[in-house]
Chains A and B, each alone.
Chain A
Amino acid sequence: MSTVKLTVNGRAVSADVEDRTLLVHLLRDHLNLTGTHVGCDTSQCGACVVHVDGRAVKSCTMLAGQADGATVVTVEGIARGEELHPMQAAFRDNHGLQCGFCTPGMIMSAIDIVQRHGGKLDEATVRQELEGNICRCTGYHNIVKAVLDAAGRMKVAQAAE
């Protein structure tokens, strides 16, 4: 057992966990943040993507101990109160989800993609960069539309700040 201390969605948290605990299990089982999903056991689906120190990573492929001291943001941490994050709003408006299982990971990966590419984002880049996120429902088309839409909204939101 080890004590893991980290900041999750702006809140300092501390948990006593077995050393084999994955970050995703710390989030879901110890912190009750069940928005982050587990969709596979081969590190391939991306349903578990969260931001660790600003980078979108698979929380099923990181030990909780590796995240000790880190700043973690999950899908629960991106809205401002009742106001959805522009990426969440764009997914809703563009019908970017059906069952919603892949959506938390899609959104966290997509925010990372927009942050990295900014205004230079095009459809081909979005499709390529979402290769680590698998969706069984949508056929990706509306997800890609949502990400491109959100890229515009995030630029506007940034400019307004």
Chain B
Amino acid sequence: MYQTNYHRASSVDDAAAQFAKGTESKYLAGGQTLLPVMKQRLAAPSDVIDLARIPALIGIEVSGDAVTVKAATTHYDVAGSADVARAIPALANLAGMIGDPAVRYCGTIGGSLANNDPAADYPAAVLALGATVKTNKRTIAADDFFQGLFSTALEDGEIITAVSFPVAAKAGYAKMRHPASRFALTGVFVAQAKSGEVRVAATGASQDGVMRVPAIEQALKGNWSAAALDGVKVSADGLMSDIHGTADYRANLVKVMAQRAVADAG
């Protein structure tokens, strides 16, 4: 790892101020993505600003209409939250499927979304549930937040403070885990909003990162059942092909995972 300067921020404003002082600052939350990348010398921030202990960034609030997860809340805490499990069980399940226990103890929702790994789990939930990403400057709709591989609408120095998920009528998540990395070889989140709107998002599939799947949304709109997807064909255009699976394989996985997610949603 290259040399760096470590700062522990006491508040969101303090973090933003510290960030501005460094020549090439980076925020640090759980460190489960940034530190491996720094160890590989693929990132060399002049300064790392630790957000993980800022009280305003930790916690979960559940109301009748929304589950709000503050940005530095760990995967472990979301997975274990009885309130989340009651309001949006699929979200708690998803958090419990991320990595392994040690990763879940440290990794945070804000870090996962800011990183926008094309195979990460949370982006699928955020996009399918139509969540809102709150930052220290504004609120960003899920549809505007994700902007392709490892890129988001966040500006330099902008801090995610919380993510607000509308409580859905039905929601489910299913993931084919890569057995070594535990990331999604393909994962699909299906959601039916209280308004009736159906949104489906797939991760680990597209070359551009998380994506909506209109063919599956169409089929589920008329008939919310796994069987409704039997005849659906997901296009392989723009999907990833690598040693783990071809684009065609992933296209089929999107459908199969969507069927399992619908079964999970009930």
Interface residues of A (CB under 8 A from B): 2, 18-20, 22, 41-44, 46, 49, 55-58, 60-63, 65-66, 68, 109, 112-113, 129, 131-133
Contact = CB atoms under 8 A, between A and B. Distances in A.
A132 B28 CA distance: 22
B4 A132 contact: no
Nearest to A56: B102
A131 B182 contact: yes
A49 to B, nearest CB: 6
19 contacts: A20-B3, A20-B6, A55-B105, A57-B106, A58-B102, A60-B39, A62-B31, A62-B35, A62-B106, A63-B28, A63-B48, A65-B6, A66-B6, A66-B31, A66-B50, A66-B52, A129-B101, A132-B99, A132-B103
Report the 8 A-B pairs with minimum CB-CB distance, sorted nearest first. A132-B100, A65-B6, A19-B6, A55-B105, A131-B100, A43-B36, A20-B1, A58-B102
Contacts of B99: 132
B2 interface: yes
Interface in B104-142: 105-106
B101 A109 contact: yes
A20 B2 contact: yes
Decide if the interface of chain A is mainly helix, strand, loop or mixed. Answer: mixed
A64 B169 CA distance: 44
A53 B182 CA distance: 26
B40 interface: yes
B101 A61 contact: no
B100 A61 contact: no
A63 B6 contact: yes
A30 B6 CA distance: 19
Interface string B46-75: 001010100000000000000000000000
B31 A56 contact: no
B23 interface: no
B26 interface: no
Given A49-B102, A129-B101, A61 B32 contact: yes
B31 A61 contact: yes
Interface string B82-108: 000000000000000001111101100
A44 B32 CA distance: 10
A113 B1 contact: no
A92 B52 CA distance: 38
A63 B101 contact: no
Contacts of B31: 61-63, 66
B4 A20 contact: yes
A18 B8 contact: no
Contacts of A133: 100
B5 interface: yes
Contacts of B101: 56, 109, 112-113, 129, 131-132
Interface in B1-25: 1-6, 8
Nearest to A61: B35
A42 B103 CA distance: 12
A41 to B, nearest CB: 6
Nearest to B38: A20
A56 B105 contact: yes
A132 B40 CA distance: 19
B256 to A, nearest CB: 21
B79 to A, nearest CB: 11
A65 B8 contact: yes
B6 A132 contact: no
B102 A19 contact: no
A19 B1 CA distance: 10
B74 to A, nearest CB: 9
A20 B102 CA distance: 21
Contacts of B76: 55
A41 B40 contact: yes
Given A43-B103, A65-B8, 7 more contacts: A19-B5, A22-B39, A41-B36, A42-B40, A55-B76, A65-B50, A113-B101
A129 B103 CA distance: 11
Contacts of B52: 66
